[in-house]
Amino acid sequence: MLGLRRAFAALLPLPRAGSPPAAAMSTLLIRQERYAWLRELGLQEENPGVYNGRWGGRGQVVTTYCPANNEPIASVRQGNLEDYEETVKKAKEAWKVWADIPAPKRGEIVRQIGDALRQKIKVLGSLVSLEMGKIYVEGVGEVQEYVDVCDYAVGLSRMIGGPILPSERPGHALIEQWNPVGLVGVITAFNFPVAVYGWNSAIAMICGNACLWKGAPTTSLVSVAVTKIIAKVLEDNKLPGAICSLVCGGADIGTAMARDERMDLLSFTGSTKVGKQVALMVQERFGRSLLELGGNNAIIVFEDADLNLVIPSALFAAVGTAGQRCTTARRLFLHESIHDEVVAKLAKAYAQVRIGDPWDSDTLYGPLHTKEAVKMFLDAVEQAKQQGGSVVCGGKVINRPGNYVEPTIVTGLPHNAPIVHTETFAPILYVLKFKEEEEVFAWNNEVKQGLSSSIFTKDLGRIFRWLGDRAFPDPKEELCLIFVCRPKGSDCGIVNVNIPTSGAEIGGAFGGEKHTGGGRESGSDSWKLYMRRST
């Protein structure tokens, strides 16, 4: 990890003595010698934001900013609805070529995409850090996740298929066949501008689908850079570039994708509020959607927990990526017997978090993504105070350039306080007391979202009850019979034991329940969502 940080430090040398600070410069960062490495990704001062075999764009020019100093990086000319229409037509034509290629051959192309990403992993990770604001190690790790999904998809390309089932009719065969859906639209969020597209595109491609990507407008440079890498692989193999199309744009493009009957599957990652609108538009045309929405994730710590695991885990889950992961821990339930001890130790750990520029080797915590996110943070802290909460540490904006806020711990709120039930995309952790297992499991499940959850305990029976296996009795039960087994425990899509809520492995299905959307991406049998089944 330290080696990667040092490598990034080499990419971004410190300003020479006497040179003006970046905040004082009015020019785009890409014009400055310090950021010349951006051109290694094929980026320019103004970049076309539409790719369908050719680069273009006739929409608005949008400048993206570095969250660490709010300086402009470079600009992207977005696509308009005319660009979108042209791109959809080209993507549908490209799909006809792509779907006819044998799945293992499609896997070979995806393998080459993974290798191309490997070659650019440091510089692309640097761009993620610069434009999104996460620390460099996380930026590189996000690109690595795309690479890992490509590796996974290569093997999967030789395994997808349906069974031959026994037929009740003599001389007949009963076969289950899987075919690509066609065109997969992918709308991604700012917080994981590379990895989420990788989860979708790598799996969708080996299934035989074409993709049309709309990334977040505030991370458009990442979208352009990733697409340039993919496009070169496709073009080198004499394949239509529109297999992996890109249309940078705003809500008009997203709305067009949701309402377009030619969009055979729409994968949307973003807020629950917008996701609901997307789901309704897709459902109105009886389309298929894959939703990855919000998460109000909880960690539960019982009295028998190993606090040497709890403190770093809670810190990482709540503070990592400045609280801007969908799997960030936002609620921490502590057994009343250990509440004060854990809060004191956690506050001490918070005080040691190194805050700084995302690309500095010693930085563990960077800025929020936008100025609007800072305002939302302050509003949430104020609401927590008004509802009876006490700020143990943090709660303020840090006096430095960029969108920096203090990692924050709030205690004293009831489990059902409105602000506790509100997902705030910021590093605010609400610490709450509990007495009994049954009540805290219910509190974990009472919020509208159901993405990630975790408990810390050494009690094996409790662990299995948390996972939903009622073969293990409640503490009050004297006898447990097999016929009383019934699903309980966490109602989340990701259920952890003695590890943080954040972080996931690509081999498992990623996603959540309830207002999180119910979609699943990446591993396990998630590939089935990108295909249609016929019997």
Give the catalytic positions in this structure.
292
C-alpha gyration radius of the chain: 24
- Tell me if 268 sits within 8 A of 78, measured CB to CB: no
| CA gap 513, 291 in Å, rounded | 10
SS3 for 377? helix
Its sign, for the CA torsion 521, 419, 319, 218, is positive
Which of 319, 357, 369, 403 shows the shortest CA–CA distance to 9? 357
Q: What does each C-alpha distance from 519 to 16, 195, 298 come to in angstroms?
A: 49, 16, 20
DSSP secondary structure code for residue 429 in this structure: E
| Residues paired with residue 405 on neighbouring β-strands, in sequence order | 397
Side chain identity at 277, as an amino acid letter?
Q
- Tell me if 4 sits within 8 A of 140, measured CB to CB: yes
Region for 196 from its dihedrals, namely left if φ exceeds 0, alpha if ψ lies in -120 to 50, beta otherwise: alpha
Length of the chain in terms of residues written: 535
| CA gap 263, 181 in Å, rounded | 9
The helix (H) or strand (E) run that includes residue 232 is: helix 220-236
Widest CA span in the chain: 88
SS3 for 19? coil
